[in-house]
Chains A and B, each alone.
Chain A
Amino acid sequence: MPDRTAIQSLILESVQMLAEDFELEALKAPSPETALYGVDGSLDSMALVNLIADIEEALAEKFDASIALADEKAMSAKNSPYRNVASLTDAVIERMPS
């Protein structure tokens, strides 16, 4: 399994590409602390859906990992695992096959 740094880099790259597509200034230079969704986040639900689908595709292409980032708390403003880059990284690591 790829390490945390590799996964986080893939996520940062996906966020950056999405920021270009959706013209989201706040996400054009993301860091692990960058808020994505919910409180202080810049993504609306459609942008979040696109980001998650982009990350799933990138994980499959780069690491041959077939995972879905569907989550019961995905749309929670406070507790979404997708609230920032670091929590999204945790969510991916949790789902990666060992």
Chain B
Amino acid sequence: MKTIVITGTRKGIGKEMAKHYLAEGWQVVGCSRGEGSIEHAHYQHFSLDVSDEDAVIAMARKIKASHGKVEALLNNAGIASMNHALLTPASTVNRILQTNVVGTFLFCREMSKLMRRTNNGRIVNFTTVAHPLNLEGEAIYAASKAAVESLTRILARELAELKITVNAIGPTPIETDLIRGVPQAKMDALLARQALNRMGEVRDVINAVDFYLREESDFITGQVLYLGGIN
């Protein structure tokens, strides 16, 4: 059985992706700050902060001991904060950068070590359309995801020799906790900027992830795919 590591599996897109890959016959290793919310014979959960270096290293060592190797990583865990830049405290900036950038980096670093002998590793990072759209009110969130995109493109080159592809997906807004609290008028204006003016759905994200994970996608790396017709 192949093993996929998915961060942020307690709820939202991460949980749905975990359920999808379990149904597809993968062994899924998930994590979140709190307790896990998935009960399945092939699901293992770690409670940790993705930006805690020691905790991520310890998780990787345990996966190595229990699963031997990892075929894929979905760096889904992320946090957002909608605020005007002039009203955003440095503590929020640090919190967002820690989870979205440091967390993504640490999982790429540690899971790559477990993928290097598979000769067909896959990393999928998560960005956002808030970056190409330069959305007001999302300065720090969008900046953190711009960093994730840069990380994706450079890691694609650094990990190429280990036969690991590194790509990213930029979903449009999806009904999850991440966008709870965004005013409807703002959401309507955002949807109007998409070529396809509907809310995203989890199936849209899974479809794109499936594409990156396919064995035949071994010549696709360093790419960022935005959903909904954003570019």
Contact = CB atoms under 8 A, between A and B. Distances in A.
Contacts of A6: none
Nearest to B160: A46
Nearest to A59: B61
Nearest to A50: B116
Interface in A28-83: 46, 49-50, 53, 56-57, 60-61, 66-68, 70
A17 B80 CA distance: 45
B203 to A, nearest CB: 36
Classify the interface of chain A: helix, strand, loop or mixed.
helix
Given A53-B113, A56-B113, A68 B53 contact: yes
Give the interface residue-count category, chain A: 10 to 19
Contacts of A60: 61, 64-65
B58 interface: yes
Interface of B: 53-54, 57-58, 61, 64-65, 109-110, 113, 116, 161-162
Closest 6 CB pairs of A and B: A53-B113, A60-B61, A66-B58, A66-B61, A46-B161, A68-B57
